[in-house]
């Protein structure tokens, strides 16, 4: 196992009815801005629950944060924060609202005269402070509720970029599985696939004898395989929703990634598919992951065999067959969730591969993977394999 530092300051308030405890989680005299998306929280009653919990407090709202949150939209919120002297942000929504709010938190305190887009081009390195934020999560998927990361898109230039900073960890996150009952099937599926791939990006690398991390990862994968399809079939089954929600959070809160090598190339290649074609984040992962695993079979051999054995119970056949079986089982699981891993199913023919590779190059993403051995040439081949599969 490698050395590691592990720090996660987010207080988790998990369970039925927990939104009612918001008042205790917020400073008494806070000037709060509730941030949210396109209105799902109005339709399912979550916004009303939040207002009820915050009755009598100074609360403003900013709505309209889109899926794959846009820099242009978020900068309007930054203006509002500064104009109204907001001192606490409360994000109510999915990963996009939470990520967008992390950006607002950092941009509102970014040095005057500096373009806040720089937060993205420098991946958050120069953030020295941010407004405090809390979260009410409505879509289990990204882990954004208790991690330091955000993904922001600048629509004017089709740039989708990641930043991270310890200053933007939510102070607290309310996870009430009941608020996920209203999710459309597509978002339930997206969430399960995204969380699944987060685990694999931290697990399918090479062995470092990190037994705890491996078995945590395998436990989370097995839980998602069991409970993901059930969340689609039984949308109001509380325990199913609770298990999915907690798995997605633990998948990307630092725990399973501590002390082990990590990959993240599926995410980086996937982001370009969203930036250029508007695919949902999880759809891009389902497309890229099988092609990536095929391309990196040799480097990932030992962990692929462990994955085949412990997660998919594939014990028959030679090593090659078991590895191919595990990759096929992964695809089939995504399909069972309703997320196709074929580019053609999204009306894509691969003709924009050169443009996507170019975008990676512009961002300096030229050595990906746990060995930093995935070059731009490899990225092109992986996109091509995905287009032809
Ligand atoms: O906007 P509203 O009306 O709220 O509707 C949303 C949105 O249309 C809807 N929704 C959310 N909760 C709902 C609901 N509808 C009904 N009932 C509910 N309870 O779902 C739609 C999608 O929401 P979004 O927040 O975009 O989805 P998700 O949570 O999958 O977030 C995706 C974003 O997170 C980034 C992705 O790149 C993408 O931009 N990621 C963030 C990460 C992180 N911060 O660590 C890691 C991930 O790998 C990922 O890259
Ligand atoms: Zn993801």
Pocket of ligand 1 contains residue 253 by CB under 6 Å: no
Residue 179 has pLDDT above 90, yes or no: yes
pTM over 0.85: yes
For residue 252, the ligand 1 atom closest to its alpha carbon is 45
Mean pLDDT along residues 10-18: 98
Among the bound ligands, the one closest to the CA of 289? 2
Task: Name the closest-CA residue to atom 22, ligand 1.
Answer: 67
- Is 170 near ligand 1, meaning CB less than 6 Å away? no
Residue 116 pLDDT > 90: yes
Crossing angle of helices 185-203 and 319-337, in 10° steps, is 150
Residue 353 binned pLDDT confidence (cut-offs 50, 70, 90): very high
- Whole-number Cα distances in Å, 221 to 128, 290, 315, 321: 36, 16, 18, 21
Ligand 1 in contact with 201 (CB < 6 A)?
no
Q: Average the pLDDT over 62-67 and give the result.
A: 98
- In this predicted structure, what is the pLDDT of residue 389? 86
CB distance 249 to ligand 1 below 6 Å? no
254 lines ligand 1 (CB under 6 A): no
| pLDDT given for residue 118 in this prediction | 98
Helix (H, G, I), strand (E, B) or coil at 240: helix
Domains in the chain: ranges and CATH: 11-179 (3.40.50.1970), 183-388 (1.20.1090.10)
> Do 191 and 140 contact (CB within 8 A), yes or no?
yes
In the reported structure, the alpha carbon of residue 99 is separated from the centroid of ligand 2 by a whole-number distance in angstroms of 12
Q: What is the pLDDT of residues 288-324, one digit of tens each?
A: 999 999 999 999 999 999 999 999 999 999 999 999 9
Asked if residues 127 and 43 have their Cβ atoms less than 8 Å apart, the reply is no
114 Cα: distance to centroid of ligand 2 (angstroms) = 29
pLDDT tens across 361-386, in order?
Answer: 999 999 999 999 999 999 999 999 99
Cα 83 to Cα 103: distance, rounded to the nearest angstrom: 17
Confidence of residue 232 (pLDDT cuts 50, 70, 90): very high
Ligand 1 binding pocket includes 151 (Cβ within 6 Å): yes
For residue 155, the CA-to-ligand 1 centroid distance in Å is 17
Atom of ligand 1 nearest to the CA of 36: 4
Instruction: Give the percent of the chain with pLDDT over 90.
Output: 99
């Amino acid at each position: 196992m490698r050395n590691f530092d592990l720090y996660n300051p987010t207080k988790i308030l998990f369970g039925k009815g927990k939104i009612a405890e918001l008042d205790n989680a917020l400073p008494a005299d806070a000037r709060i801005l509730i941030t949210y998306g396109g209105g799902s929280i109005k339709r399912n009653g979550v916004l009303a629950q939040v207002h009820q919990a915050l009755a009598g407090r100074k609360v403003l709202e900013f709505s309209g944060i889109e899926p794959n949150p846009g820099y242009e939209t978020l900068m309007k919120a930054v203006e509002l924060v500064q104009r109204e002297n907001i001192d606490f942000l409360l994000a109510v929504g999915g990963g996009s609202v939470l990520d967008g709010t992390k950006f607002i938190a950092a941009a509102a305190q970014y040095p005057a005269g500096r373009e806040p887009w720089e937060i993205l081009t420098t991946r958050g390195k120069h953030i020295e402070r941010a407004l405090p934020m809390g979260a009410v999560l409505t879509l289990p998927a990204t882990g954004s509720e208790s991690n330091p990361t955000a993904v922001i898109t600048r629509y004017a230039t089709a740039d989708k970029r990641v930043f991270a900073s310890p200053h933007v960890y939510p102070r607290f996150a309310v996870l009430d599985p009941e608020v996920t009952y209203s999710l459309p099937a597509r978002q339930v599926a997206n969430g399960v696939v995204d969380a699944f791939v987060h685990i694999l990006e931290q697990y399918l690398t090479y062995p470092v004898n990190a037994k705890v991390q491996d078995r945590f990862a395998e436990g989370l994968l097995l839980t998602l395989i069991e409970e993901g399809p059930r969340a689609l079939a039984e949308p109001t089954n509380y325990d199913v929703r609770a298990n999915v929600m907690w798995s997605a959070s633990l998948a990307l809160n630092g725990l399973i990634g501590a002390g082990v090598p990590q990959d993240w190339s599926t995410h980086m290649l996937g982001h370009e598919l969203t930036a250029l074609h508007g695919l949902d984040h999880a759809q891009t992962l389902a497309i890229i992951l099988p092609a990536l695993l095929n391309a990196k079979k040799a480097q990932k051999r030992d962990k692929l065999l462990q994955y085949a054995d412990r997660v998919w119970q594939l014990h028959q056949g030679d090593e090659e067959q078991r590895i191919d079986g595990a990759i096929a089982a992964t695809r089939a699981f995504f399909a069972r969730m309703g997320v196709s891993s074929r580019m053609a199913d999204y009306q894509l023919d691969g003709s924009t591969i050169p443009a996507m590779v170019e975008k990676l190059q512009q961002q300096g993403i030229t050595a990906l993977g746990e060995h930093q051995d995935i070059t731009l040439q490899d990225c092109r081949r992986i996109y091509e394999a995905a287009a032809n599969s």
